[in-house]
Amino acid sequence: MGKSGNRIQLADNLLALRKMKTESVELIYIDPPFNTGRKQNRPQLRTIRDENGDRTGFGGRRYRTERVTGEGAGAGYLDQFDDFLGFLRPRMVEAYRILTPTGSLFFHIDYREVHYCKVMLDEIFSTEGAMSGRDCFQNEIIWAYDYGARSKKKWPAKHDNILWYTKDPKRYTFHLDECDRIPYMAPGLVGAVKAARGKTPTDVWWHTIVSPTGKEKTGYATQKPLGVLERIVKVHTSPGETVLDFFAGSGTAGEAAAKNGRKFVLVDESAEAVKIMKRRLAAYLPKKS
């Protein structure tokens, strides 16, 4: 597999996305940060019903987005969500434009925000009168792990949510045969041949976090496991296709793509992240980068 086409970019992803070609990427995986304390640096936005607004929401209703100022600015929980969605929305609109007609989006998020993000994505994946974004939603994958402190006051939350959307509800890549197989829970019930082969996973994926002492660790705090990303890349793209991650961090999506003969485009605004990615993916980058 050639190295040309593989790219790591230090940039605010909105600017980077705006320069990317329409319908040029088969798979987008992102794992955006939430509530990182950068909220103060971004304008807070809220969405208001307005017949003359520049956005169309459910049922064709029009909305406008405005900056929160004065007393309301910075106060309360809802404003934080407005700010987060206000930050994400233009990036997701660009992501939708960049996806090929049979492309997939994987959106990795926390259980406290997933429902807000899902409503936003349903709306973005709705095309003018043609199809409902709800039909483009394919799965909510639960990545379950078991690590760290366990609450004694409620069930310990040990999962992330990964929303899978396809641009076309019916035409998309799904190479289930390429998926790694997992052990049966009761191998004695299925016979020796099946037990030895294992089964394909459901929408609940058990996978350990990146071990703080293992060789996969890059030192980037929010690094996601390569195993989770390889499963996504192998099942949802074909060799030679392109994987884009515009909240790339340590470049896990890039390594999953390159190891499996796919191209990668990785964007992050952090110089530290780019340094780590360039080291991690040096073998797959063209000379001049």
CA 13 to chain centre: 13
User: Which of residues 31, 83, 94, 113 is near ligand SAM by CB under 6 A?
Assistant: 31
Indicate the residue among 15 and 196 with the shorter CB distance to ligand SAM: 15
Indicate the residue among 83 and 268 with the shorter CB distance to ligand SAM: 268
Residue 227 engages ligand SAM in binding (rule: CB under 6 A): no
Give the 3-state secondary structure of residue 189.
helix
Given the structure tokens 């929401």, which residue do they identify? 57
Indicate the residue among 37 and 59 with the shorter CB distance to ligand SAM: 37
Indicate the residue among 138 and 270 with the shorter CB distance to ligand SAM: 270
CB of 45 to ligand SAM, least distance (A): 15
| Interface stretch with ligand SAM, choices 99-107, 127-135, 246-254, 280-288 (CB under 6 A) | 246-254
CB of 47 to ligand SAM, least distance (A): 20
3-state helix, strand, coil in the chain (%, to 5): 35, 25, 45
CB of 272 to ligand SAM, least distance (A): 8
| Interface stretch with ligand SAM, choices 166-174, 194-202, 244-252, 257-265 (CB under 6 A) | 244-252
Query: CA separation (Å) from 139 to 73, 163, 279?
Result: 35, 6, 34
CB of 37 to ligand SAM, least distance (A): 12
Residues 6+ apart with CB under 8 A from 243: 25, 26, 27, 28, 29, 233, 237, 253, 254, 256, 257, 262, 263, 264, 265
Q: How many residues bind ligand SAM (CB under 6 A)?
A: 17
Residue 274 engages ligand SAM in binding (rule: CB under 6 A): no
Indicate the residue among 89 and 133 with the shorter CB distance to ligand SAM: 89
- Position 26: which residue type? E
> Which 94-133 residues touch ligand SAM, going by CB under 6 A?
none
Report the residue closest to ligand SAM, judged by CB.
Answer: 249
User: Which of residues 22, 56, 222, 238 is near ligand SAM by CB under 6 A?
Assistant: 222
d(CA 17, CA 98): 8
Residues 6+ apart with CB under 8 A from 279: 218
Indicate the residue among 127 and 222 with the shorter CB distance to ligand SAM: 222
CA 60 to chain centre: 27
Residues 6+ apart with CB under 8 A from 28: 95, 98, 99, 103, 104, 105, 106, 243, 244, 245, 246
Contact 242, 265 (CB under 8 A): yes
Name the pairing type of β-strands 99-109 and 159-166: antiparallel
Give the 3-state secondary structure of residue 46.
strand
| Interface stretch with ligand SAM, choices 76-84, 158-166, 265-273, 279-287 (CB under 6 A) | 265-273
Residue 249 engages ligand SAM in binding (rule: CB under 6 A): yes
> Which 141-200 residues touch ligand SAM, going by CB under 6 A?
none
Binding residues for ligand SAM (CB under 6 A)? 12-13, 31, 33, 220, 222-224, 247, 249-250, 252, 267-270, 273
